[in-house]
Chain A
Amino acid sequence: MLRIPCPWCGPRDESEFRYRGDASVVRPAAQAATADFIDYVYQRDNPRGWHCEWWLHTGGCRQLLRVERHTLTDEIRTVTAARDLTP
């Protein structure tokens, strides 16, 4: 079971969060080609290793967190609030 250290709420069980997938994919600009949107929506690195991913703390502060987690060991390396990321 994951325990995610939320910057606002402290370490919390995974059941308080909603997973929102790969945080490394970035929505293309409006004028980008359809192919770029297809990549954005469907194609994933899906690494067996470190993975940046979104977790929304729906059962807590409702903040979106970018979590760096190892997909084999579940170790969590960093947690950053989306609002603190520079786009």
Chain B
Amino acid sequence: MVIVGGGGHGLATAYYLAAHHGISDVAVLERGPIGLGNVGRNTTIVRSNYFHPDNIRFYDLSLRLWEGLERELNFNAMVSQRGTLNLFHTEAQRDLFTRRANLMRLLGADAQSLDREQVRRRVPLVDLDNGRYPVLGGFLQPRGGTVRHDAVAWGYARGASAAGVDIVEHCEVTGIACAGGRVTGVHTRHGLIGADVVCLAVAGHSSHLAAMAGLRLPIETHLLQAFVSEAVKPLIDVVLTYGAGHFYVSQSDKGGLVFGGGIDGYNNYGQRGTLPMAEEVAAAAVTLLPGLARLKVLRQWGGVMDMSMDGSPIISTTALAGLVLNGGWCYGGFKAIPAGGLTTAHLIAHGSPHPLAAHLSLTRFVTGRIVDERGIGPYPYAH
């Protein structure tokens, strides 16, 4: 069994296959060193505040797995449930968030609404009136928060390795071997590796790996940027999302503000930061949190996202028997790593989807049972 991609989802899938299903005849192949793709370059947020009930269930499974991860892996991934706070600025936004929070509560997740005064107490830095789109209130998921991203890859890699998984770095997959309508292995720079099941866990690059198997996917690759500031003493102790512009922020344990905005909005594999998005994100930041004006931004970088056509991930078998896809994570892959790994391992081990990930099958685009969180339609560049 071969898992292509030594990122968060690939390593977690391998770990759960070996540790929970007793399948340790698994090789994880990584083109470079492990953990340096999106798992090592994101804004580290975990939460389960989604609109679609199936997504709430899936991401809340992930949140529960995060909560037990340190004990599961005996590695401190610094899971920090400091809460995620979404601000709202219009009554229409309030109604949408109310609907979401109520659904989360019905499904066993946590959510609460905050009024302006509660927002101010929680984040004194917020300029509630901010001149253009005053903050009307916020919705808090107390169990949301951050996780030290590098530690996730390292922790799953250690766990998988200890359970007998082979992790092969610097082993680029150059082709997918198939015969008689099913997958038989992968070609790599070091030769052919035979396998009954090949799982692609290479979000950002799913399309060109799938193309090796002759498949096209409902995915476009887009750039998502992130930024980090100089380290300062504690300033914000919640993950904060602005509702009137592209900006969300948290503060790392080291003291830097980690923040980001929307995707750049055109197919891109470049992994570079761009200037217009930086200006837009900074303008939103200073508008909402004027006290940040003199704080200095250290770095800007870009990661490539699998943007799926409905904005929800894909955990699915494919038209080629034996080829399993874990991808389409859009900008939400990090928080899903435990559930993505667990449910992908289930799909591989049992040949049928995990009940909490059945809605993520590729067949949804054919049947029309799409999972369009924000109702944007088949325009990945607009998600």
Physical interaction between A and B: yes
Q: Chain B 251-271, CB within 8 Å of chain A: the 1/0 string?
A: 000000000000001111110
Tell me whether A44 and B276 are in contact in the complex, defined as CB-CB below 8 angstroms, given that A73-B270, A74-B268, A74-B270 are known contacts: no
A42 to B265 CA separation, bound complex (whole angstroms) = 17
Q: Is B378 an interface residue (CB 8 A)?
A: yes
Q: Chain B 167-210, CB within 8 Å of chain A: the 1/0 string?
A: 00000000000000000000000000000000000000101100
A43 to B362 CA separation, bound complex (whole angstroms) = 11
Q: Is B74 an interface residue (CB 8 A)?
A: no
* Inter-chain contact B276/A46, CB cutoff 8 Å: no
Interface residues on chain B, number (Cβ under 8 Å): 26
A49 to B237 CA separation, bound complex (whole angstroms) = 42
What DSSP secondary structure best describes chain A's contact surface? mixed
Residues of B within 8 A of A38 (CB): 365-366
A14 to B205 CA separation, bound complex (whole angstroms) = 24
Residues of B within 8 A of A26 (CB): none
* Inter-chain contact A19/B378, CB cutoff 8 Å: no
Closest CB of chain A to B377's CB: distance in Å?
A: 9
Can you add 5 more A-B contacts, CB < 8 Å, to A38-B365, A39-B216?
Answer: A21-B380, A38-B366, A42-B365, A45-B207, A45-B211
Residue numbers of B with Cβ under 8 A of A are 205, 207-208, 211, 216-221, 265-270, 274-276, 309, 365-366, 378-381
Q: List 9 A-B residue pairs with CB atoms under 8 Å apart, sorted by A's residue number.
A: A15-B276, A21-B380, A38-B366, A42-B378, A44-B216, A44-B217, A45-B211, A45-B216, A71-B270
Rank and list the top 10 A-B pairs by shortest CB-CB distance, nearest first: A46-B207, A42-B218, A43-B216, A19-B266, A48-B269, A72-B269, A42-B365, A42-B309, A71-B269, A1-B275
